[in-house]
């Protein structure tokens, strides 16, 4: 069987503490399910599973909460995954695997993240001492190979000789493209909490970017994606159900690979290469690429390392202009491709902490 995406929608993305701050992960994701089913031409009774990426939530099983909140049949158990930033894309790859293997015919897959509602984290002391607060989980067993993400991005910029000014230029262009595309983005966005567009997108100028304070080395607040709230879901279906849909993109393939943990920003490069090889495709066949912009330097390094045409990358802006709802960001890339791609091959790729890269190929 062949897996297809026949519908996909997302919420607006808002910085933490903003318009979506009062919503939990399931509150963000559930309103997307009805529009996906209507656009895909199926009803709730035909849904076999819901796979939801969530990184910062309260635990439990947010996918199950989402399924119940959206009125899906109670037999839809819901599967929550956490592969950090790559999770939203990996949820789609898991859905495709279920469909390709004949285990399911209709799977809702994506991610939801409420950075605003994330719990405080405390590490208990087995000796009975006071709990210690922490922010970033461990991503490797070795402290010297487990860098802070911003510091890793700064080290990557230094190693590749990508200047602060070059990173700022990328960020300015991301915002400019997103502002110019605001009306074109509306069909993919389901308004929520009175918001119908990405709240962070602004008229970032070179002068404003130059004034931004350093986060780590050449990485600044202007060249790092803001922590955010948001969700995105795709409807992944079989050939049979695809024939009932007005439109569909074929999932040509996808790959998730581990790479050097201390340099997570470059992890998508081998994943992209493996994904293209597996599908028998070449970089010059890619009509559009949606590459995650957790940091400007990370996106720039992946575009160069994978040999992509910069003119075909993030044509309507990227995460620097949206924000980064961690578990949902990969699914947002797929949503962007679905709504833009009118023919040819589309690529979505994202890096994750611990040195993980995921890539997905869609065909229009």
Read off the pLDDT of residues 186-234 as tens digits, 9 standing for 90 and up. Answer: 999 999 999 999 999 999 999 999 999 999 999 999 999 999 999 999 9
**Which residue from 153, 344, 337, 351 is spatially nearest to 270, judged by alpha carbons?**
351
Tokens read off for 338: 């679905």
User: Which tens digits make up the pLDDT trace of 287-344?
Assistant: 999 999 999 999 999 999 999 999 999 999 999 999 999 999 999 999 999 999 998 9
- Mean of the per-residue pLDDT values of the chain: 97
Strand partners for 237: 4, 106
Give residues with Cβ within 8 angstroms of 155, minimum separation 6: 147, 217, 263
Task: Categorize the per-residue pLDDT at 32 as very low, low, confident or very high, splitting at 50, 70 and 90.
Answer: very high
pTM: 0.97
Task: Categorize the per-residue pLDDT at 172 as very low, low, confident or very high, splitting at 50, 70 and 90.
Answer: very high
Strand partners for 122: 133
Q: Which residues are identified as catalytic?
A: 85, 324
Whole-number pLDDT of residue 111: 98
Whole-number pLDDT of residue 125: 87
Residue 1 has pLDDT above 90, yes or no: no
Whole-number pLDDT of residue 289: 98
Whole-number pLDDT of residue 331: 98
In the chain, what is the greatest distance between 2 CA atoms, to the nearest angstrom?
61
Residue 73 has pLDDT above 90, yes or no: yes
| Distance separating alpha carbons of residues 51 and 62, to the nearest angstrom | 10
Give all domains of the chain, ordered by start, each with its CATH number.
4-118+224-363 (3.40.47.10)
Residue 33 has pLDDT above 90, yes or no: yes
* pLDDT, average across residues 112-123: 94
Residue 104 has pLDDT above 90, yes or no: yes
Tokens read off for 184: 């074109």
Enter the DSSP assignment of 41. Answer: T
% of the chain exceeding 70 in pLDDT: 100
Residue 134 has pLDDT above 90, yes or no: no
Residue pair 162/304 in contact (Cβ under 8 Å)? The answer is no
3-state secondary structure of 51: strand
How many of the other CB atoms lie within 10 Å of CB of 10? 32
Residue 37 has pLDDT above 90, yes or no: yes
Residue pair 319/198 in contact (Cβ under 8 Å)? The answer is no
* pLDDT, average across residues 20-48: 98
Whole-number pLDDT of residue 102: 97
| Distance separating alpha carbons of residues 9 and 234, to the nearest angstrom | 7
Whole-number pLDDT of residue 136: 82
The CA-based dihedral angle spanning residues 138, 141, 144, 147, taken in that order and rounded to the nearest 10 degrees: -30
Whole-number pLDDT of residue 58: 86
Task: Categorize the per-residue pLDDT at 137 as very low, low, confident or very high, splitting at 50, 70 and 90.
Answer: confident
Residue 364 has pLDDT above 90, yes or no: no
User: Which tens digits make up the pLDDT trace of 40-67?
Assistant: 999 999 999 999 999 999 889 999 999 9
* pLDDT, average across residues 64-76: 98
């Amino acid at each position: 069987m062949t897996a297809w995406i026949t519908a996909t929608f997302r919420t607006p993305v808002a910085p933490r503490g903003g318009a979506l701050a009062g919503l939990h992960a399931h509150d963000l994701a559930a309103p997307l399910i009805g529009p996906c089913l209507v656009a895909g031409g199926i009803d709730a009774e035909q849904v076999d599973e819901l796979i939801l990426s969530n990184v910062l939530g309260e635990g439990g099983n947010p996918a199950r909460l989402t399924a119940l909140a959206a009125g899906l049949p109670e037999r839809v158990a819901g599967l929550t995954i956490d592969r950090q930033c790559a999770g939203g894309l990996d949820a789609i790859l898991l859905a495709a695997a279920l469909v390709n293997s004949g285990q399911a015919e209709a799977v809702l897959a994506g991610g939801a993240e409420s950075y605003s509602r994330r719990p405080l984290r405390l590490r208990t002391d087995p000796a009975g001492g006071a709990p210690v607060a922490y922010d970033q989980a461990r991503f490797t067993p070795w402290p010297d190979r487990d860098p802070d993400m911003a510091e890793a991005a700064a080290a990557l910029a230094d190693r590749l000789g990508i200047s602060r000014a070059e990173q700022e230029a990328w960020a300015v262009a991301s915002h400019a493209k997103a502002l110019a595309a605001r009306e074109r983005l509306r069909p993919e966005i389901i308004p929520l909490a009175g918001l119908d567009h990405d709240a962070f997108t602004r008229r970032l100028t070179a002068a404003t970017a130059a004034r931004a304070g350093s986060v780590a080395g050449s990485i600044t607040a202007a060249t790092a994606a803001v922590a955010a709230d948001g969700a995105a879901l795709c409807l992944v279906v079989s050939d049979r159900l695809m024939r009932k849909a007005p439109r569909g993109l074929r999932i040509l393939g996808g790959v998730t690979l581990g790479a050097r943990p201390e340099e997570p920003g470059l992890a998508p490069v081998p994943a992209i290469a493996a994904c293209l090889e597996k599908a028998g495709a070449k970089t010059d066949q890619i009509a559009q690429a949606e590459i995650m912009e957790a940091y400007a330097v990370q996106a720039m390094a992946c575009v160069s390392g994978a040999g992509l045409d910069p003119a075909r990358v993030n044509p309507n802006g990227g995460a620097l202009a949206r924000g980064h709802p961690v578990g949902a960001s990969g699914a947002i890339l797929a949503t962007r491709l679905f709504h833009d791609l009118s023919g040819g091959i589309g690529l979505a790729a994202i890096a994750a902490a611990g040195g993980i890269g995921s890539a997905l190929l869609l065909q229009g």
